Chain A
């Protein structure tokens, strides 16, 4: 493992890290496009999210009189923590130095860091909607984070490692063994991903009704480049969860050696997997309705239960066998 800390590996990690913000708006555009087609609309181009970000970057940022310095620092912190978290997820290859620097637990911790600053930013100006969004976000995450940890611990215990690269390598080495624990963890992690990225049925990213907002309520006061950073961070988070689900549970195609050919195959494979996942998300968002806020705990308890079942079925059924 130590041999992956080479300059070329770091370069590859840098490339991967840059791919995340580059691809994230595309995934969002793709999901929107598929959704529009499912609803018999033509929809905007898949590149529309890039244009929106560019528009925000060139707009004046407005900051409320009552805002503290934290308000202006928060977008950078949220963006940086989310991006670093994304950089630790194997996108093209499993030999990733950043996955050694920060393992799965650190990944969850970095996402929590971003979330805490997002919630604090929501409360900073002192408006009713900001506090409401922060309160709801922390309630959702309080239930989603343990479910996520349990799901990744199932994988970590199977692979005897909390290093994401090793987890994926272990799964690849398993060939096509179907583990019950993986099924549970997959279901749990998918539900968590929906909740954490603020998608229907937990939150609606396109809502215009303040009283139903969660994520949008926290960024209501942001504008200009601050908002651009917040939006891009949210898009990276969606891509991160997509890659996490795709590459952990369906790792086939990911590069195991750093040759250009296998990297190209890895890139093609992840694009294909993400396109399928994005389409699945669009279908789910079209057929499901957003839940009432107090139905969300039941949804997340299901996620926690599934993940815990995954871990228990692993330690009971699979360890001794």
Chain B
């Protein structure tokens, strides 16, 4: 496929997303239009994005076009290259799964009071915004697309606005998205003033001094870091993502956070270009902090969707750990480990889109069948919803970075990149990277604990409430959407070498060098550097696992007794266990809460119950509220109170202020 064709197909994808939004306007009269027209158009948009992304990655070139829209002196520029292609592919994969999943999910909302016009319309706009961010080639279009994406997702978070918690979450999201947007805008401002214009091409050519480059980097890191939910700017994420309908949560966690990663890569690696290792250290530190905090808070949650949202903070932390390593290696003149870390970051971004999309769709399917988000009420769902149970298990194993699933591949690559730290000259860097690696290892183990908890509490054991006991499997569309993502998780785990062959176009184009030896041994072997150094053969590991399993099962049939008898649970011969005697999600996490007690703000209280008994209540708070947000809010309030004194109600005073402002401005302009 020629790269120009890929750009045209990407344009079609945007048009399909906008078409899906337009069609949804009819939903006020005909509610079924969302199910039968808007959602299929979304799916087609996903397929078009996949095609465009694959085309761009395979051709390896770049194509630009100028649209007859925008300001008179600044028409909109669009461009597709390998980096944009990779993120188009990522958006497309999740979106096409949602195209399958959405219709059945929306059907459940047709009877309700919620506005389907808003749901379908803003979903389409949200998608179009994300696609345009990736395609934009000037700061103007980029910011417009970015704001469309932010605003559309705001309305989706506020979709069920009858609940006060959702309105609050949406407002917090809107506020923080705009602070972040402002920071990105200022970053563009720095770049544009040196680069003579808002087009990316002129920014790329700009020569920034080291100080101004660092200023631009700082602004960009804050802006995109806020959207990516990096600690300590993550506070909005666990509130906003769970409030939206489940497949929107999948889009927000799986895809929108990746668009922020795209923006960061585009601005730092491409537009600023000349990276510095100190930035890498900052990114590495913030990434490690996010990974660990996200993992610990995810483990403490009992609301399934909130847990998944915190887990997104953790995963984006891992992506940024790898990006930080890439920055460090590239600036210190080690292109090969740099490219390895970069590929690891992209691979993990793609993996996270797939398994987090899958898990949110699974949570949505539980919500659809049981109207329950609270883990403490669930249990035994594997026997009631076997397909969702199977797909959710694949998602859990993938996110817990277990071989041979996809999460393991990106974790393996990140570890391999970190293990190249011995090549660095500076002792400080050499010793800080291992600490970040230790944090990554700890995070991985905590994530495994988290998803054992989720799966064990929700899908195994016995139902803890009546409505969960009566759960029925969802319609086939819901299962198909999850199945698609589950199959992709397995495939990306099984054939990492082929995937890396595809991703490799991005560092080749962007950094000037990829991983030349990655596929040197064929599709069977993943060899990042040299065969002696490290190798992993996912197909062979899987083959051996299956072969041994067949051998064991066959052996057990030959030897020993095959009879199995069903009986009551033994439980050491105490009274027959009831559902209430099971471990709860809170109890499961209690040992780790105790070990890491310093990091949480735990409030325990005895609350009297209606029936005269007592209820033990535990609230686990985020320390970042005390440390950052509340003081900041107090500061803003104090400043506002000072400013309010200007508002005397006297027109002459106002005119005086206006005159003064005008004079100051004139003085600045003339100086």
Instruction: List the B side residues contacting A229 at CB < 8 Å.
Output: 552, 556
Cβ-defined contact, B552 with A66, below 8 A: no
Question: Does A182 count as interface, using CB distance less than 8 angstroms?
Answer: no
Q: Is the CB of A134 within 8 A of B445?
A: no
Residues of A within 8 A of B561 (CB): 57-61, 224-225
Q: Indicate whether A150 sits within 8 Å of B452 (C-beta atoms), given known contacts A123-B461, A129-B571.
A: no
Q: Which residues of B contact A112 (CB under 8 A)?
A: 400-402, 445, 448
A76-118 toward B: CB 8 Å interface, digit per residue (1/0)?
1101110110010000000000101111011001101101100
**Which residues from A are CB-within-8-Å of B545?**
80-81, 84
Q: Mark A195-228, 1 if CB is under 8 A from B, else 0.
A: 0000000000000001000000000110011001
Question: At the interface with chain A, which of B2-10, B377-385, B601-609?
Answer: B377-385
Nearest chain A CB to B246 CB, angstrom units: 24
Cβ-defined partner of A116 (8 Å) among B397, B540, B552: B397
**When the two chains form their complex, are residues A64 and B567 in contact, meaning their CB atoms are under 8 A apart?**
yes
**In the complex, are the beta carbons of B449 and A64 less than 8 A apart?**
no
Q: A145-180, CB under 8 A of B: which get 1 and which 0?
A: 110011001001100111100100000000000000
Please pick, from A1, A122, A225, the residue contacting B560 in the complex, using a CB distance under 8 A: A225
- Which residues on B sit within 8 Å (CB–CB) of A311? 434, 437-438
On chain B, which size bracket covers the interface? 35 or more
Bound together, the chains give a CA A246 to CA B434 distance in angstroms of 25
Report the nearest B residue to A77, measured CB to CB: B549
Most chain A beta-carbon neighbours within 10 Å: one of B434, B437, B545, B549: B434
A82: min CB distance to chain B, Å: 10
Q: Which of B521, B535, B569 meets A163, CB within 8 Å?
A: B535
Stretch at the interface among A136-144, A252-260, A269-277: A136-144
The CA of A55 and the CA of B588, in the complex, are separated in Å by: 34
> Is there contact, CB below 8 Å, between B430 and A113?
no
**Complex Cα gap A233–B531 (Å):** 31
**A263 CA / B247 CA spacing, docked (Å):** 58
Interface segment out of the listed A25-33, A42-50, A281-289, A312-320? A312-320
B457 within 8 A of A: yes
Instruction: Tell me, in angstroms, the Cα distance from A57 to B567 when the chains sit together.
Output: 19
- Does the CB pair B592–A124 fall under 8 Å? no
Q: Flag if A153 contacts B419 (CB, 8 Å).
A: yes
Question: Contact at A139–B434, with CB atoms within 8 Å?
Answer: no
Instruction: Establish whether residues B438 and A308, one from each chain, have CB atoms under 8 Å apart when the complex forms.
Output: yes
Among B456, B535, B568, contact of A120 (Cβ-Cβ < 8 Å): B456
* Chain B residues closer than 8 Å to A141, beta-carbon distance: 445, 448-449
Cβ of B164 within 8 Å of any chain A Cβ, yes or no, is no
The reply on B290 being an interface residue by CB < 8 A is no
| Interface membership of B67, Cβ < 8 A | no
Complex Cα distance, B348 from A150, in Å, reads 21
Interface residues of A (CB under 8 A from B): 1-2, 57-70, 72, 76-77, 79-81, 83-84, 87, 98, 100-103, 105-106, 109-110, 112-113, 115-116, 119-120, 122-132, 134-136, 138-139, 141-146, 149-150, 153, 156-157, 160-163, 166, 210, 220-221, 224-225, 228-229, 293-294, 297, 304, 308, 311-312, 315-316, 319-320
* In the assembled complex, B441 has its CB within 8 A of some CB on chain A: yes
Whether A131 contacts B587 by the Cβ 8 Å rule is: yes
Q: Is the interface of A mostly helix, strand, loop or mixed?
A: helix
Q: Give Cα distance in the complex from A221 to B576, angstroms.
A: 13
Residues B449 and A139 in contact, CB atoms below 8 Å apart: yes
Structural contact, A308 and B571, CB atoms closer than 8 A: no
Kindly report which residue of chain A lies nearest to residue B590, judged by CB atoms: A135
Chain A residue nearest to B461 (CB atoms) is A126
* Contact (Cβ within 8 A) B431 A312: yes
Task: Name the contact of B448 in the complex, choosing from A68, A110, A125, A142 (C-beta under 8 A).
Answer: A142
- 7 A-B pairs with the lowest CB-CB distances in the bound complex, closest first: A131-B583, A123-B456, A126-B461, A57-B560, A146-B441, A138-B449, A139-B591
Contacts A63-B565, A128-B571 known; list 16 others, CB within 8 Å.
Answer: A57-B559, A58-B560, A61-B564, A62-B570, A76-B549, A103-B534, A105-B415, A124-B460, A131-B582, A135-B453, A146-B441, A153-B434, A160-B422, A162-B416, A220-B571, A316-B427
Taking a contact as CB atoms under 8 Å apart, the answer to whether A225 and B556 are in contact is: yes
Nearest-CB residue, chain A, relative to B565: A62
A210 cross-chain contacts in B, Cβ below 8 A: 572
Pair A142/B442 contact, Cβ less than 8 Å = yes
Q: A64-B567, A80-B545 are in contact. Are A316 and B442 (CB under 8 A)?
A: no
CB of B563 within 8 A of CB of A61, answer yes
- Indicate if the CB atoms of A68 and B434 lie closer than 8 Å: no
CA distance A135 to B450 in the complex (A): 10
Query: Are A126 and B380 in touch, CB under 8 angstroms?
Result: yes
